[in-house]
Amino acid sequence: MWITTGGKPIFRSESISFASKHFEKSLMRIFGGKLNSLLGGIAVALLVCLIFLCAVAQDAPQLKTRQDPKSQNPDDTEQVKVFTEEVRLPLIAIDDYGHFDPTLAASDVLVLEDGVPQQVQSIRHLPASILFLLDTGGEEFGTGGMSKKTSTTRDTVRRVVAGLPPADAIAVIQFNDGVELIQSWTRDKSEVERSLAKRLYSGRRVRLAEAVVAATAVLKERPEGSRHVVLITDGVETPNAHLTRAEAVKELMSARAAVHVISYTQLVRQKAPYKKESVLANQRRSAEAMSRAGIDPTLPPGTSRGGMGGAATGVITFDPAMRRKRKAYEADVNRSERWLTELANETGGDLFLPKSVDEMIGSGETVARDIGAEYVLTYKPKRPLAEAEPGEYRKLEIAPRRQGVTLRTMRGYVAKGQGT
């Protein structure tokens, strides 16, 4: 009798019977008669093992076939091909009145990749994924009296969140002495508010480069094409010997996210506001201060009633170290503003340079409006992504094919990330 698996014969049962009897005689010669009571069980166990090994041997070629790409189901092959070769970009479409244009179609958009026209496959308005990247370090700095404030940053984020549609996903990273994800992806705005109120705090250092790398990993958890970063910072960071800002931004480019920058670089140059006082109140306050310092306003500067012409006590001197520190910060701010401008333009985002706290908080409304005016544009590049070198950059140009609409997207993208 033949034993079969999957309907196919494997071996005769007579062969198993012969093998079992031969095995039993061998054991009897070695161990004697003590194992007679166990031979039946051993024979059954051997038979089961033999049948199992034969079944595995029969199935082994099928495993290799499933790993062979040439033998894949055509539908499965096409699904993988579409996924790996599809480029999805955030595309902001604004009409002549600055509002979202809901009528945009694929035929309305011209896309050039490295100068070669591409066939746009689809344009869809999808829920967005917005990652807030918040600089809460170095609050003591400022060139004109104003400085970064965690409270101002928090209120600005609240204004952006209030203008986002309910279907958008939100996450929050803060960076100061370290980098921390204080809110993972959620659509619950009340949960975001709790994180802003309880977990956002200030520090002394600014780990901007590390924060950008962390943001890249968090963004890649969300669907490509509808990723946004809202970066609130002055762009000045604590020096890092292990990671440069340029390296971090190159990492961020691989996420294909639009970066909207709300910058402190103009605000920190402004003088701090003060309350107006009457002339008499101001004179009284000055006289009291001079009296406490032992200064006689009727005498020439630098002299006192002591009669020796010595320096008066209580004279305030300027701290040279603080002056040098502010000068260095001012130079850093100037450089960072140029970098932040380039970052926003390169990724298809926007740059905001408010000069007051009210302007800064109000810019949150514009950011929310820009994100709400976004489409996801899809095309299959004529030069396959599989042929790209690691870290290869491809330049993009985009233009409307009809009047009455303004389009904005990133200037280019990384076709394949380093090491992939």
Q: Has residue 85 been placed in a domain?
A: no
Distance, in Å, from the CA atom of 199 to the CA atom of 379, rounded to the nearest integer, reads 40
Same domain for 248 and 141:
yes
Same domain for 13 and 116, yes or no, is no
Residue 353 shares a structural domain with residue 259: yes
Last residue of a domain, one of 71, 86, 121: 71
User: Does residue 14 sit in the same domain as residue 111?
Assistant: no
pLDDT for res 244: 87
Q: Are residues 117 and 64 in the same domain?
A: no
pTM summary value: 0.68
- Per-residue confidence (pLDDT) for residue 325, from 0 to 100: 81
CB contact burial 384-408 (16+ within 10 A = b; e otherwise):
eeeebeeeeebebebeeeeeebebb
Question: Are residue 40 and residue 145 in the same domain, yes or no?
Answer: no
Q: What pLDDT score does 272 carry?
A: 75
Chosen domain end from 21, 53, 71: 71
Q: What is the pLDDT of residue 318?
A: 58
Q: Do residues 249 and 362 both lie within one domain?
A: yes
Let me know whether 59 and 115 are in one domain. no
pLDDT score, position 165: 94
**What is the pLDDT, as a whole number, of residue 21?**
53
pLDDT along the chain (420 residues), means of 10: 46 48 52 51 56 45 32 34 69 88 93 95 93 89 78 97 96 96 97 96 92 96 93 90 85 91 93 60 64 62 52 54 82 92 93 96 95 92 89 92 92 69
60/121 same-domain check: no
Q: Is 316 domain-assigned?
A: no
HSE-CB of 63 using CA atoms within 13 angstroms: 6
Considering the domain architecture, whether residues 129 and 54 belong to the same structural domain is answered as no
- Domain containing residue 267: CATH number: 3.40.50.410
pLDDT of res. 414? 85
Residue 247 domain-assigned (yes or no): yes
Show the 3-state SS of 196-235.
HHHHCCCECCCCHHHHHHHHHHHHCCCCCCCEEEEEEECC
- Write the DSSP string, 29-94: HHHGGGGHHHHHHHHHHHHHHHHHHHHHHHHHHHHHHHH-GGGS-HHHHHHHHHHHH-EEEEEEEE
| In a shared domain, residues 178 and 267 | yes
- pLDDT for res 313: 47
How many domains is the chain built from?
Answer: 2
Domain final position from 71, 88, 122? 71
Is 280 a member of any domain?
Answer: no
pLDDT at 56: 39
DSSP H or E stretch at residue 10: strand 8-12
Q: How many CA atoms lie within 13 Å of 23's alpha carbon, on the beta-carbon side?
A: 16
**Residue 118's domain spans which residues?**
106-271+322-414
Listed residue (140, 210, 142, 141) closest to 174, CA to CA? 210
